[in-house]
Amino acid sequence: MKIAFIGLGIMGKPMARNLLRAGYDVTVYNRSRGAVEELVKDGAKAANSAAEAAAQATVVITMLPNSPQVQEVVCGEKGVLEGAKPGTILVDMSSISPIAAQEIGKACLERGVSMLDAPVSGGEPKAIDGTLSIMVGGDARAFEQVYDILLTMGTSAVLCGELGAGNTTKLANQVIVAVNIAAVSEAFTLSTMAGVDPEKVFHAIRGGLAGSTVLNAKMPMILNDDYKPGFKVDLHIKDLNNALEAGHTVGAPLPLTAAVMEMLQNLHANHCGQDDHCAIAKYYQKVSGRGIAEK
């Protein structure tokens, strides 16, 4: 099965590399050429446009920042739909608005292309080692056809419903992650200001009910004052914007999401938008005057 992979950023590049390692025939396209050249060295073919990449594939995977970029790459000039043949499956693994996914899916259907929305969770480390969690919306038959491809990039791929359900699931995931990081930052600010060693608190509570994947992944970074991005503050702002928009559309109350959004916006305004989202701890440092990593 021939695959086109479009969007080779922090997540997309290692995901495409895992497809190559699994032996798939992969054609890649990215607006900036550095990542393309890296993957060509790994065995990929290079395309000069999304349309050219799609013309050489039966499955097209996109991994892009947000809804407008997906709309442009799929439906715009020299986009996927200009090159894709009827019967092609588009798997959009970006995190976008569920409403946008459904609109793009309608345009695909008019050209005989099936679309799945299949955002991921796990950040750069899990993209590198191929252990992402993949949540999918769309046609069950199309999902079955690409299931093995998805499991080359992740350890789980679950069909959650019709087109748009994948991104709705991802928004729920991002709400939980954001609120969890904020809770971790708040709790460890409390323990630190009370004079208790935060590293000992971490080891004491990680095996109990308060333990979580978020705690295990982010607390070591916070303790080391390490905010190298696996998932950026600005990207989480994008996801929570989509979550709040979706919540307003269906009437779902999201007060905790709104509160954490204000923390993230504060970080963005203070030049931390490119930091890892665990920089929520920096927000607490600013308002409390005490950093968790301070000795």
Catalogue the active-site residues.
170
Burial of 32 (0-12, 13-18, 19+ CB in 10 A): exposed
Pick from 107, 83, 93, 86: nearest CA to 61: 93
Please state, in angstroms and rounded to a whole number, the distance separating the CA atoms of residues 22 and 34: 22
> What is the distance between the alpha carbons of residues 249 and 45, in angstroms, rounded to a whole number?
42
Contacts of 197 (CB under 8 A, 6+ apart): none
Give the span between the Cα atoms of 138 and 166, in whole angstroms: 8
Structure tokens at 165: 């359900």
